[in-house]
Structure 1
Amino acid sequence: MRTALACAAVMVLASNSMAHGISTARVEVRFDHPEKFRDASLNSQGYERGADAEVIKALTQHLQTLGQRYLQPGQQLRIDIRDVDLAGRFEPWNSYAYDVRFMREITWPTIDLSYTLSQPGRPDQQAEERVSDKMYLSRPGRQVSSSDRLYAEKAMLNDWFRQRFAAKPTS
């Protein structure tokens, strides 16, 4: 029931903004050779490279959600993800936990990306960045037990997105 109401509300808001000529913010996420990513699989128990569809879908949806939260109407953001190294590592030699991703201080999340921010009346902003969070285990609220297997990567992207694209308060 709640899902149906939420979908209806989103459709009404979208149709109202289109009817009034308001263009919404848009985020396009592309993955450059995900089969070569360092560590972007939640289902791998070894050291093979590549990304799985679950990680690609989750990161795409999360970045699009952040765009709706932080970008201004009319802004368009294209993010090209070139590499992903998820937090933690599988330790296949541990026979009782071979499918568990162990989070350690030396296995922080890292995402290499480039982006282009376009907005009407302004030149495009472009940059290449390595987004990482070496302190991911020490940040308040980050160790909360969560069923989200990408909680560290999403928290890291939240911070990065807010710092880069949130509207700055005017003085």
Structure 2
Amino acid sequence: MSPAHSRSPARPVRAALLGLACGAWFTLAQAGVVEAYFPDPRAMSDVRDANGFNADVEKPLGDYLRTLGDKLLGDRRLVINVIDVDLAGQLEPVGPRQEMIRVLRSHTWPRIELRYQLSDANGVGLRSGEVRLIDTDYLSNARLAGATDPLRYEKQMLKEWFMREFTER
């Protein structure tokens, strides 16, 4: 068997792998892109944990917005500046040791203020705005009540806004 003949079965495999890789790249290039920024976290209303340190909200909320973009934006691009985060509930001293825990009450709504700019795949601006999201009825969502994600109410509020604002009409 000649050396050229013995390599021929590998060529279609390599070509198929190259085709899959190019297809995966094209699919990624077509996915929506979200860039989430938190320009001044220290100025936010409620991003402190029980000990007064910055609560970890930037990464989980930024990652969540990127996930929503991957699913819902198509080939559009969204830049979001999160101006303020006020988490659901309020830190209160509880128990004999007066430990600070987040207590959820009907009047301690989650709030997020943000600015956004949506553009198409070519960078042409489609729309922009400033939004203040507030969920005054967050405790009535029974589906979220048993969830363990500490940012479940904020994520749900962002998801509902994202669906209203950026899904194709």
Quickly name the TM-score band, shorter chain normalised.
Answer: 0.7 to 0.9
Deviation of 1:158 after TM superposition, in Å, equals 0.9
1:132 aligns with 2:158: no
Render the CA deviation track for 1:1-28: whole Å, top value 9, x for unaligned: xxxxxxxxxxx98852425795321000
The residue number in structure 1 matching 2:32 is 25
SS in 2 for 1:113: strand
Matches within 5 A, 1:51-62: 51-52=54-55, 54-62=56-64
Q: How has the CA–CA distance of structure 1 residues 153 and 13 changed in structure 2, closer, same or farther, with 3 Å as cutoff?
A: farther
Count of matched residue pairs: 150
Matches within 5 A, 1:1-171: 16-19=23-26, 22-41=29-48, 43-45=49-51, 51-52=54-55, 54-73=56-75, 75-92=76-93, 94-96=95-97, 98-120=99-121, 123-143=125-145, 145-168=146-169
- Percent of aligned pairs with the same amino acid: 33
Letter of the structure 2 residue corresponding to residue 118 of structure 1? S
Q: How has the CA–CA distance of structure 1 residues 30 and 138 changed in structure 2, closer, same or farther, with 3 Å as cutoff?
A: same
Render the CA deviation track for 1:113-159: whole Å, top value 9, x for unaligned: 0000000465431100001101000124122x122111111111111
SS in 1 for 2:158: helix
Q: Which structure has the highest helix share of the two? A: 2
Letter of the structure 1 residue corresponding to residue 102 of structure 2? R
Give the TM-score, by structure 1 length.
0.77
SS in 1 for 2:64: helix
RMSD between aligned residues? 2.5
Deviation of 1:96 after TM superposition, in Å, equals 4.6
Q: Which runs of 5+ in 1 are unaligned?
A: 1-11
Which structure would you say has the larger Rg? 2
Instruction: After superposing the two structures, state which structure 1 stretch, 92-101 or 131-140, moved more.
Output: 92-101
Give the TM-score, by structure 2 length.
0.78
Contact 1:87/1:107 (<8 A) preserved: yes
Q: How has the CA–CA distance of structure 1 residues 124 and 19 changed in structure 2, closer, same or farther, with 3 Å as cutoff?
A: closer
